[in-house]
Amino acid sequence: MNYPGALRRTPRGAGWTHLAPVDDARPLLAVLGHAAGMSGSVVGRRKLRPRRPPRPLAAFDRMQPFTRAEALQAGIPDSALRGPGFRRLMGNVYVDSAVELTPALAAKAPLAVAPPSAWVSHVSAARLLGVPVPTLPGEHISVLAKQDRLRRSGVTSHVAPGTSLVTRRGGARISAPAQLFVELASQLGLVDLVVAGDWLVRQGLVTLEVLREFCAASQLRASVLAREAVVFVRERVDSPMETRVRMLLVLAGLPEPVVNLKVNVGDGSGRRRYDLSWAAVKVIVEYDGRHHAERIEQWEKDLLRREGIDDDGWRMIVLVAKDVYSRPDRTLERVVRVLRARGLEGLPRHLDDSWRAHFPVRTEAMEA
């Protein structure tokens, strides 16, 4: 496989530039690993033992998931494991009861009994990183050979290629962010996958350029779906709901708004930033996800801001949760009406129905 070039880190470490051509996908993925996931590395294929042996006593940490065998080796008897000082996470995997039971902790538990080179992957890796993903049952790990799969209730073992990119986070081996995005394509719908991609880029875990290049080169399962989704991933997106609103508008066929546009205030006193906007016709769409108490505290400040926006000739459309989750049809009508009145070029005569598969109209909301 030919590829236009390898990548290297810029002096600031934020971006990647092309170097000499590489001849095949393996060195490309190896280099991308550093860009795509916090010093990621390519996993080599080798024959593994079916189960992890007890780790050396010096490595024992009761604040991290450990096995019964490791506890016994550390001098902790079964009677103590059954007592209030420990919590069983799964099977013979335990942790100190003082440790908070979090999605990240649950994601790491299967590694205690998996082969040493196994890693947390798919939605479990997303939860460990804090990626905003839907709640899905079970944990996921990846291994390099079929015989290394765990046969445990609630754990799915994926057999991954030897070119997989793995990094470390929170004391565990996990899929590098660019690879994670492709893995999630097998579990999430289009909009949720774009939400995850926007978040990974916004957090600086992977650059948009590298994410696109990794998806283009990937031969992982669901890479086709990942390539479809990465087209919609953008930089500087501040929240999952901003992603959802933008996807609603774009899937309906509207010209794509600019994300987090910064404009100078008319009186020269500073700059404002708008969630989604069409600068040519001065229209803004913003999502307001605050609670009632926060609205009261911010009310006067918001009024002054919106008065200033009006003075500068901009029109703001404010959306709340029900506008996206319950009545997306009405939301599109509102936005289209304003954009037509403002004379935005490129508006479709009829909206594309692609949005309906991802943003269902709630019947109960229509009746209300």
**Whole-number pLDDT of residue 28:** 37
pLDDT at residue 20 in the model: 26
Condensed to tens digits (0 to 9), the pLDDT of residues 10-64 reads 333 333 222 222 223 333 344 444 445 555 556 654 444 445 677 788 789 999 9
What pLDDT score was predicted for residue 32?
A: 46
Q: Which of 24-33, 120-129, 161-170, 273-282 has the lowest mean pLDDT?
A: 24-33
Provide the pLDDT confidence category of residue 94 given band limits of 50, 70 and 90. very high
Q: Last residue of a domain, which of 233, 255, 270? A: 233
pLDDT band at 8, cuts 50/70/90? very low
User: Does residue 119 sit within a domain?
Assistant: no
Q: How far is the C-alpha of 207 from the C-alpha of 266, rounded, in Å? A: 34
Do 316 and 347 fall within a single domain? Answer: yes
**Same structural domain, 277 and 200:** no
Percent of the chain with pLDDT over 90: 70
- Range(s) of the domain holding residue 313: 240-367
pLDDT of residue 56: 81
Q: Is residue 192 part of a domain?
A: yes
Is 118 part of any domain? no
Task: CATH number of the domain at 287, please.
Answer: 3.40.960
302 and 356 together in one domain: yes
> Same domain, yes or no, for 139 and 226?
yes
Structure confidence at residue 299 (pLDDT): 55
**Whether the predicted pLDDT of 316 surpasses 60:** yes
Residue 12 lies in a domain: yes
Q: Verify that 294 and 349 share a domain, yes or no.
A: yes
Write out pLDDT tens, residues 193-208. Answer: 999 999 999 999 999 9
Q: What is the pLDDT of residue 58?
A: 78
Residues 212 and 108 reside in one and the same domain = no
**262 assigned to some structural domain:** yes
Contacts of 96 (CB under 8 A, 6+ apart): 62, 63, 85, 86, 87
Q: How far apart are CA 311 and CA 323, in angstroms?
A: 26
9 in a structural domain = yes
Residue 120 lies in a domain: no
28 and 70 assigned to the same domain: no
pLDDT for res 262: 87
Is 211 in contact with 36 (CB distance < 8 Å)?
yes
Confidence category of residue 170, pLDDT binned at 50, 70, 90: confident
- Of 162, 196, 182, 226, give the one whose Cα is nearest residue 25: 162
Of 113, 134, 159, the residue that ends a domain is 113
Whether 1 and 76 share a structural domain: no
Domain identity same for 61 and 17: no
Are 145 and 292 members of one domain?
no
98 and 154 part of one domain: no
Q: What is the pTM of this model?
A: 0.82
State residue 104 phi and psi, 5-degree precision: -65, -40
Number of domains in the chain: 3
Q: Which of 212, 233, 254 is the last residue of a domain?
A: 233
32: in domain: yes
308/193 same-domain check: no
Here the tokens at position 137 are 């049952």
